[in-house]
Amino acid sequence: MLTDLKGYLTERGGASLTEMATRFATEPEALRPMLDVWIRKGKVRRSGGDRCHGCCACAAADVEFYEWVSPLPAAKPRPTPDAG
């Protein structure tokens, strides 16, 4: 599941906790500990989580956003056949 979260966040750049819970068909509370693993490793940054101070109808998970911040390793170049 950690690899799946990494793939999802790197593909999208970031996502709300609600979006990830929907994508992985799980409760937000089940995702937080897994996201915390990536946060501790310095790969993910959490932002939001507080109410947006607007209409007060937002769930905290809707405004809790996670962003992949660690650069992915560059793909290794393929060897080129000798031209001569």
- Sign of the alpha-carbon dihedral angle for 7, 8, 10, 11: positive
Query: 53 or 2: which carries more pLDDT confidence?
Result: 2
Q: For residue 63, what pLDDT is reported?
A: 76
Residue partners of 62: CB distance under 8 A and separation at least 6:
16, 17, 18
CA–CA separation, 35 and 6 (whole Å): 9
Query: Average of pLDDT values for 6-22?
Result: 94
Query: Tens digit of pLDDT for each residue in 23-73?
Result: 999 999 999 999 999 999 999 999 875 555 555 555 555 679 999 998 766
Closest CA to 44 of 68, 20, 21, 63: 68
Q: What is the pTM of this model?
A: 0.69
Query: Tens digit of pLDDT for each residue in 16-36?
Result: 999 999 999 999 999 999 999
